[in-house]
Structures are given as C-alpha cells and as structure tokens.
Amino acid sequence: MEKLFDIFLLMLDGTQITLEIFFVTLLLSLPLGMMAALGRLSSLKIISRIVEFYIWIMRGTPLMLQLLFVYFALPMIGIRLPDIAAALLAFTLNYAAYFAEIFRAGIQAVPKGQYEAAKTLGMSYPQTMRRIILPQVIRIVLPPVSNETINLVKDTSLVYILAMNDLLRVARTIVQREFDMTPFLFAAIFYLAMTFVLTWGFKKLEAYYGKY
Amino acid sequence: MANTNTGEIMLKMTDIHKAYDNLEVLKGIDIEVRRGEVLAIIGPSGSGKSTLLRCINKLETIDKGSIAIKDRFLVQTKDGEAVYASGKEEREILSSTGMVFQQFNLFPHMTVLENLLEAPMQVKGLKRSEVEPYARELLGKVGLSDRADYYPSQLSGGQQQRVAIARALCMKPDIMLFDEPTSALDPELTGEVLKTMRELAAEHMTMVVVTHEMAFAREAASQVIFMADGNIVEQGEPETFFAAPKEERTKNFLQNML
C-alpha cells in the first residue's frame, strides 16, 4: 500500500507537466485558431494564402516531427527555447491549425441571411461577427472542438521524445525500474478521468449553447 | 389610398443597370417612390425584381445608374462608373431603410425581444431602458406581446416574420423593403403577415414590396410595377393595372397568377 502511494506521488509530477501542456496549449491555440480562421476567410488573397499554407504544413506533417523540429532544428538557427516552451510552441501551432479549420467551417455554416439581416440593421462587420455570427459558430463547433480537446489530452504524451517527464514517461520509467505495471494503470485512469471531465464539461456547454 | 404624386420623394432610382458576368439582370430601371406610398413589384421569378430591391440597401451593387434615398445619393454614375457614397455617409443614408426577408433571418440565439433590442442598442448606442418600451409596443402591434421571451425556433413562420417586421421597425426606418415576405410561409400563415403589412401601409409607412400576393398588391399598393427580363414592362395604379393591363406579357402573367 505504501509503495502504491510512493508511485502515486512520483506520478503527480508527471501529471503536472501533462496538465500544463494541455491547458496552456488550449488557451493559446483556441484564439490563434480563431484568428487564423478569420485570416483564411479574409478577402485579401495574400493573407488567405499564407494561412492556407500554414494549415497545410501543420496538418500535413506529424506533430512528432514538429516537436522535434522546434526542439532540435530551431537551435541550429540560433533560436534556443526552454524545453517546455518548445513543446508549447509546437503544440499551439499544430492545434491552432486544426481549430482554424473547425472555426472556418463553423463560420461558413452560418447562413448568409444572418450577415444580410445584421447589415440591413446597420451593424458593422465587427459587431456582426461578435454579436451575431460567433455565438452561432460556438454552438456549431462545440462537438468538433470537444473532439480535438480530447485528442490533445492524449497527444501531450508525445513530449516524452523531448525527454520531458510527463505522466506517461514517468510511468514508463517506474515500470522499467520496478517491473510493476501499476503505473500504467494509474496513467490510464488519469487520461480516462481527464476525458470524462472534458466530456462532461462539453456536454454542459452544448446544453447551454443549444438552448435556442 | 395614400395620395400620390404630392409627397416628398423618398426613393429615386434612375437607369439602374446590373449584370452578373455576362447576364444582364437589370436593364435600365427607373423608379420613384414618394412618402407614404406602397410600391408593389411583381413579376415571374428571374425577372430581377428581388435584385432590384436588394440594390436599394446595397445588398447588391449596381453597375450603372443612380439611387437617391431622401434626396441623398447612395450611388451615382460618374464617367460611366457607379460611385458609392463614403462609408459614413452610406451608413447614414441606409439607416433610413429597413428590410424584411423571405427567410425571416431572425437571430436564432436571441429571444424575440433581444432580436428587437440588438440593433438600437449596438448601432445607435441606446440603453435598454430607452428601447425596451418601444420594442414591446411594436411587439404589441404585430400581436406578439406574449412571445417576447421566446426563441425564434419556438415560433411559427408567420410569427417569425412578424417579429422580423417589428425588428426592422425598431430602428425607426422611413422606408421598409419587403423581399417576398410571405413566399416561405404555409398558405394559412400568409394572412397574418399581410395583415401586419396592411396596417403598416395604413399608417403611411413608405414601402417597397416584392411579392407574389396579387390580392395584397391590388388592395394595399398605391403603385404596381410588373417586371420581366430585367425591364419594367408595365406600371400603374392598382385599379387600372389589374382591371385593364395594356401589355400582352402582363395579361399572361396575371392570368397565370389567378
């Protein structure tokens, strides 16, 4: 029993790294994704093209490769980031690209008539986006955003490749040292618990935004 | 019937041309609407009547011609090119128009009352307490006082369209534009919307109505225009227009509508 508790304490540190990557990535990639979506829909061809290229790169290469690139290749051109910052940069850029496509689809799913109604009532473009379009977009994108968010919980484990002691890496270290499989069980329970909480949270959000 | 040809000119469209790529949809239209008049525009689908209406509040732009609302130019043609008023002036000019759409286009995430309050508060910067009494008065007028806290999805099509009329009126426009307001409604629901529009006409609201409702055009309009293929084929006061149409195309169209 005491040994179990020790393992649990060791794993708490790993959990902290995992949670940190998860929350900071989400916090940064959601607004960045929204900006990218608006850029993608911009009538300025050059902006739209740049964003399109960015999304293609991010979705077209493995997240693992992007992590390695930020961690190993950037220092070669003189950009040296702390481990955690490198991981966050790669995660944020990657997830923002996926969120951008989700938001773009959401924005385009709002009928043209909504823009026209707002326009004939004298509302400006920023007012129309903020007050009329985005609240409807949130409702549309909640299910796919929920999906991506749950993916992110599990993708955080990729940072093991940067020798960061996240939950899964800590678990593996203990397993290899002690020949005890319990840490894997702990890790599985943690990921499942995170997913459970997120699923519940998104369900609440969907109910709130689905009231009309 | 509102007295015609004496009131202030509210809307003047001159030589309106518009084409999509190579397809000419408006081929030189002239329209004049005075205060308190109700202009009904009828015609087969594809005749350009909705496009013409949508040009009035710049949901569509024109290629040539001029549009003046209350003697201020929204767009004028200089050296063969349509030039629109600057942003601020354009907004001022367009603020005197209100529009009702075929598909209602209510804001689905807002209650009926919030739909009415949105533009006066956001655009005019009014306080809720300054708008709400008027908004509720308008809801009373369209017979929906008891639906203020409902969401649009909880209302019938006819009720939604009446809310849309009230929402447009809440900005206190001088000209109301209606784009086939009853075309998306079940037949038994068109009556309530037409009744609201008749009441509005009786209060001398200036209205431009694109419609397939011949009975409405006959009873409530002060002027009827028949459009086909981007041209005005025939125009007149409803009594003479419906009783004795001159053009063959008008006769055929009216026969098919009855």
Buried b (16+ CB within 10 A) or exposed e, B17-48: bbeeeeebbbeebebebbbbbbbbbbbbeebb
Closest-approach residue (CA) in chain A for B109:
A212
User: Average pLDDT of B131-155?
Assistant: 96
B150 in reach of chain A (CB within 8 A): no
Of A180, A205, A211, A197, residue with least CA distance to A4: A180
Strand ranges for B70-135 from DSSP E: 72-78, 81-84, 97-100
Pairing mode of beta strands B81-84, B72-78? antiparallel
Pairing mode of beta strands B206-210, B38-42? parallel
The residue to which tokens 């130019």 are assigned: B73
Check residue B2 and give its pLDDT: 46
pLDDT tens per residue, range B170-224: 999 999 999 999 999 998 899 999 999 999 999 999 999 999 999 999 999 999 9
Q: Distance between CA B255 and CA B258 in Å, rounded?
A: 6
Check residue B5 and give its pLDDT: 59
**Chain A residues close to B97, C-beta within 8 Å:** 120
Pairing mode of beta strands B175-179, B64-69? unpaired
pLDDT tens per residue, range B56-100: 999 999 999 999 999 999 999 998 899 999 989 999 999 999 999
pLDDT at B4 over 70: no
**Chain A residues close to B152, C-beta within 8 Å:** 212
pTM of the prediction?
0.86
A212 in reach of chain B (CB within 8 A): yes
A125 in reach of chain B (CB within 8 A): no
pLDDT at B162 over 70: yes
Longest pairwise C-alpha distance within chain B: 56
| Cross-chain CB nearest to A113 (options B57, B105, B153) | B105
Q: How confident is the model at residue B1 (pLDDT cuts 50, 70, 90)?
A: very low
Q: Output the CA torsion sign for B185, B187, B189, B194.
A: positive
Check residue B31 and give its pLDDT: 96
| Cross-chain CB nearest to B153 (options A117, A136, A212) | A212
Check residue A12 and give its pLDDT: 86
Q: How many CB pairs under 8 A join A and B?
A: 63
Helix (H, G, I), strand (E, B) or coil at B31: strand
Check residue A1 and give its pLDDT: 65
User: Average pLDDT of B142-161?
Assistant: 96
**Chain A residues close to B94, C-beta within 8 Å:** 120, 122
**Chain B residues close to A122, C-beta within 8 Å:** 91, 94-95, 119, 123, 171
With a pLDDT cut of 90, the percent of chain B lying above it is 91
ipTM at complex level: 0.92
Per-residue pLDDT of chain A (212 residues; tens, 9 = 90+): 677 788 888 888 889 999 999 999 999 999 999 999 999 999 999 999 999 999 999 999 999 999 999 998 888 888 888 888 999 999 999 999 999 999 999 999 999 999 999 999 999 999 999 999 999 999 999 999 999 999 999 999 999 888 888 999 989 988 988 888 888 998 999 999 999 999 999 999 999 988 88
Find the radius of gyration of the CA atoms of chain A.
21
Q: Distance between CA B56 and CA A92 in Å, rounded?
A: 46
Contacts of B100 (CB under 8 A, 6+ apart): B161, B164, B165, B168, B176, B177, B178, B179, B181
Check residue B7 and give its pLDDT: 84
B114 in reach of chain A (CB within 8 A): no
**Chain B residues close to A136, C-beta within 8 Å:** 108-109
Helix (H, G, I), strand (E, B) or coil at B63: coil
B33 — phi, psi (to 5°)? -125, 130
- In chain A, which residue ranges form alpha helices assigned H by DSSP? 2-40, 45-60, 63-68, 74-76, 83-109, 112-120, 125-127, 134-155, 167-178, 182-209
Cβ of B108 and A131 within 8 Å? no
Closest-approach residue (CA) in chain B for A132:
B107
Centre a 10 Å sphere on the Cβ of residue B56 and count the other Cβ atoms it contains.
23
Of A94, A87, A29, residue with least CA distance to A59: A94
